[in-house]
Amino acid sequence: MHAHSTTHRTTSTTSTTTRTLRTLGLGATALVLTAALAACGEQSAPDPESAATSPSSETSEVTSAVVVGDPWVRATKGTEDPSMTGAFMTLDNPGAEPVTLVSASSSVAGTTELHEMAMLDGAMSMQAVDDGIVLEAGRGKVLEPGGFHVMLMGLRDAPAPGDEVDLSLVFSDGSTQDLVVPVKAFTEEEGHYHAPGTGDHDH
């Protein structure tokens, strides 16, 4: 498995969290996507001086691909419906233009869609996000249980904890990112996810 069409870029700011992504299979060359973002309210240290600075102004020279962080896929082995699951991650757009996650695919899934959990008629329901997941300039989204996620359907084998799943993300700027994503057990019942948020977060 090879990662392709990824670029290497680094920016630096005064107080940053550098995010990383392993886009490689066993023995493959590491391709690093780094962006020095004070992302997701996850600054390395609470520091009002730098928090007061808009990171977007410091990263505006970057024309960019999205930074993917902390990806994981929920294991379904032994669950009620082992044929579908979600992939979760953080997506950060350090660039000056909005970028949309347009689609995703995986060799383990027959179909892959972008979904969102939302309140519908007073109940949580899951719906496809046909227009993709928009990442505003200088902002990001958290894909998490109860919110936006990549839905893997028609799974050929139920992913078990300790497995790895390939996942390819296609963005509106023409970039593609190929990930190798760990499968993790998740103890909460499906349909009983965390309270939903907007999925938006600031840098």
One-character DSSP codes across 47-65: -HHHHTS-HHHHHTT---P
Residue 5 CB partners (closer than 8 Å, separation 6+): 175, 176, 177
Please report whether residue 97 would count as binding another protein according to CB under 8 A. no
Please report whether residue 70 would count as binding another protein according to CB under 8 A. yes
Binding string, residues 138-157; x marks residues near another protein by CB under 8 A:
--------------------
Name residues contacting another protein, limited to 21-60 (CB under 8 A).
21-23, 26-27, 30-34, 40, 42-49
- Written as six digits, the tokens of 59 are 């990263």
Among 17, 59, 64, 93, binds another protein (CB under 8 A): 17
Instruction: Select the span of 68-76, 91-99, 101-109, 123-131 touching another protein (CB under 8 A).
Output: 68-76
Distance CA 99, CA 135 (A): 5
User: Looking at beta carbons only, is 17 or 100 nearer to another protein?
Assistant: 17
Q: Do 150 and 84 form a contact (C-beta atoms < 8 A)? A: no
For residue 131, the minimal CB distance to another protein (Å) is 26
Please report whether residue 15 would count as binding another protein according to CB under 8 A. yes
Instruction: Select the span of 52-60, 69-77, 108-116, 119-127 touching another protein (CB under 8 A).
Output: 69-77
Among 55, 66, 88, 151, binds another protein (CB under 8 A): 88
Distance CA 34, CA 36 (A): 6
Q: Are strands 85-93 and 67-74 parallel, antiparallel or unpaired?
A: antiparallel
Classified as helix, coil or strand, 114 is: strand
Please report whether residue 78 would count as binding another protein according to CB under 8 A. no
